[in-house]
Amino acid sequence: MGEVIRETVYVRRASGLVRELGILESLSVALSGAIGAGINVLVLQGANLYPGANVPLAYVLVGLMTIPLSFVIAHIAGDLPRSSALYVFVSRTVNPILGFLGGWGIILGSAFVIGTLSRAFAVNLGPFLVLAGRAAKSDSLIGAGQFLMTDAGILITSFIMLLTFFIVLTLGARVYGKFMDIVFIIPLIGFVINLILLGITPQGSIKALYDATWGTGAYDEIVRLGVKYGYTPEAFAFQWGATFSIMSAAVFAYQGFERAAYVAGEVKSPKKTIMYSMFGGTILLFVLYSLTAILSWRCYGDWIIMYNIAITKGVKELLINPPARSPFVAHLAASLIPGIPALQIFLYIAGLLWLFNTPPTRFLVASRTMFAMSFDRFLPEKVAYVHPKTGSPLVADTISFILGIIGIIFAHYLGIYAAAVSATLFDQFLLLLVMIGALIYPFVKEDAWKAGYRYEYKGVPLITIIGIVTVAIQFVIYYLCVSTTVITALTFGAIWYGIGAIVFAYYYWKNKQRGIDPNLIFGEIPPA
């Protein structure tokens, strides 16, 4: 692979993006990209959909499978530090059209994730304000919280969130990085406090503490409605099949650790920074996720299932509990400290920030993938425009904003679980292609591998050895995602990929007509 870039091959001789992100910002993107609704909401939400599922076991198993995947992706992004490094890698290593289709799916999947997390934040903001209003004895806060629990309040909050992210993103990598640092460190502190509270609270005291927070009889109200609408211990006894099925939610929770790969073109010292932030961050993620799942279910047990049933089937009968639209880990932890309202409020704020700080990382995924495709001349060239002062790809950012609006509407009316699973399918398809590429990477792109980490074991490239394992893991992950997805979602995905194939064919023909050989485009790594 040569270093000489032909002037007519790419849109410009340089990307125009600026390397502003350090190791903290890279870690913030990687962990904020992962920690969101998957661990704060879905870890509590899915068990009633798959009766008999052991949620903590599912999260531990998926975590163990994710760690070697993160090593491969960190290796690739460190070797090829470009925008949307995974799209660049697959299109240059495996096959151009497969790389394009992988990126094409990621663009739409990003819309679903942005919508899922924006709406999840909006849904839980209402109960937070009710809690804060009760602690401060403020009818205004309580009233605001009750409004934000309505459909209108949820949608308005979601759209305001989206606009905030868009503005921050367009101000450039430096501003974005500092913003992410703040909204990462605060919730991380809250996350640790949640784990401590869930770990030290005796199970026998849960009911009394919960009632002291929400009102006498609040705990039993959930039990009554849960039993009324279908809960029995026998119906939810452990089943391996259900546990396997719910692993798709755990996959959604872990995905996002790879987000730093999409901004590899804007990371300082990428070879060192990305390996530390992405691979090291994933190990930390595994610890945090496993403890959260284990301790939440240890504390509350099947009451979590009854809570899900109560707020979905018996929500109109809730007289004591706030009519929340989804369970929330911070809700469980805050309910254990009724005598410390200030800490309760902080835990809610910290938990909400995990739902707040994930969509802006997904903005990057959509924006930088469209930018990279446009830079390759396989989307309109205007999408690769970079503002000369901020270094932000404004056109790609704007399209991401529009996709986010679509994602919010989808998540609101079809449910965040449907949106999450749909996004997971697109993400995991690209990751499967990445793992396949890892097997052959040192041999088909030898120059790039030798200039990169160049890890070996007894003369064999380490990424190839681990790639054998990760291909098998990724096939399992993709199978469980597909097997737990309804046929309508699979059909929709197939149609989207079909449209992508047509777009690819059009730009392939168009570039040929302009005298630009697509083989030259995909034969080189694009300029930084």
For the stretch 397-406, pLDDT in tens is: 999 999 888 8
- Residue 118: its pLDDT value, please? 83
Q: Is residue 6 part of a domain?
A: no
* pTM score of the predicted model: 0.83
The structure tokens listed for 335 are 């309910």
The structure tokens listed for 275 are 């390996």
Dist. CA 281–CA 157, nearest whole Å: 30
User: Hey, what amino acid is at 515?
Assistant: G
- Residue 339: its pLDDT value, please? 86
Q: Is residue 17 part of a domain?
A: no
The residues that bridge with 267 in the sheet, in sequence order, are: 21
- In the chain, which residues have pLDDT < 70? 1-8, 135-136, 323-325, 415-423, 486
- Residue 420: its pLDDT value, please? 59
- Residue 199: its pLDDT value, please? 95
Q: Is residue 107 part of a domain?
A: yes
- Residue 5: its pLDDT value, please? 44
Neighbours of 203 (CB within 10 A): 10
Q: Is residue 4 part of a domain?
A: no
Sign of the alpha-carbon dihedral angle for 11, 13, 17, 21: positive
Q: Is residue 442 part of a domain?
A: yes
Q: For residue 404, give its domain range.
A: 23-521
Angstrom distances, CA of residue 327 to CA of 51, 57, 183, 196, 322: 17, 19, 22, 19, 11
Q: Find the CATH number of the domain harbouring 320.
A: 1.20.1740.10
Dist. CA 361–CA 34, nearest whole Å: 9
The structure tokens listed for 447 are 């120059």
Q: Is residue 2 part of a domain?
A: no
Q: Is residue 208 part of a domain?
A: yes
Give phi and psi for 460, each to the nearest 5: -105, 130
Q: Is residue 377 part of a domain?
A: yes
Domains of the chain: total:
1
- Residue 390: its pLDDT value, please? 86
